[in-house]
Amino acid sequence: MSLSLVIFDVDGTLVDSQGDILGAMSIAFASEGIKRPTREAILAIVGLSLPQAFSHLAPELGPVQRTRLVEAYKDAYAELRMKGGPEASPLYPGIPALLDRLSARDDVLLGIATGKSRRGLTALLESHGLTQRFVTRQCADDNPSKPHPAMLFNALDEAGVDPERAMMIGDTSYDMEMAQAAGMPRIGVTWGYHPPEALAGAEHVVDDAAGLERAIETVLEGMT
């Protein structure tokens, strides 16, 4: 039996983490005495690794100050995760049951490709009891930022799965561009942080967890 790898983005795909993200951004910018960018501007960069995100959000700042913002954000996010619990960054409706069903399959492995830091990803997964669900957890600490495809290639290597037997699921244009660069099937979800038109590169676009499960099954059937 050949194994298939289903790779998920995290923020805006599995988890609605905008409360923690916006809160940590507020703390980070306040630490430098700078007004926080708008909610829309912040959510537009979700998916990028933090150095790239702050380059977009504060291009007028020098690299030293942006590095301080990155570290302040990481510290603030970790503290908010510890205080807030899973309800502060809830899983989207239907996602827990979907992950349960996929995890129970003998022919499917699950992975993550996220712009989060390793510390932030670990805290988030632990708060939801999801750490053991994923055989590979690719994050910004170990890879170039999306949409570079290195995360996906490293996920394939770590899981021991051939490229033609993997797919990427995400809510942003960065996810779609990354998967396209890796030559991987891609499913876009509309409940996240980028508008549906940003998912034009997806082969399937879905509006809820039931639609996502059907799309995953369609892609899996095409691999047999």
Catalytic residue numbers, as ranges: 9, 11
CA distance 179 to 186: 6
The 3-state secondary structure of the chain reads CCCEEEEECCECCCECCHHHHHHHHHHHHHHCCCCCCCHHHHHHCECECHHHHHHHHCCCCCHHHHHHHHHHHHHHHHHHHHHHCHHHCCECCCHHHHHHHHHCCCCEEEEEECCCCHHHHHHHHHHHCCHHHCCEEECHHHCCCCCCCHHHHHHHHHHCCCHHHEEEEECCHHHHHHHHHCCCCEEEECCCCCCHHHHCCCCEEECCHHHHHHHHHHHHHHHC
Residue 47 has φ and ψ, to the nearest 5°, of 115, -30
Pairing assessment for the beta strands 166-170 and 4-8 based on DSSP bridges: parallel
Q: How far is CA 7 from CA 41, 52, 135, 161, 167, in A?
A: 26, 22, 10, 12, 6
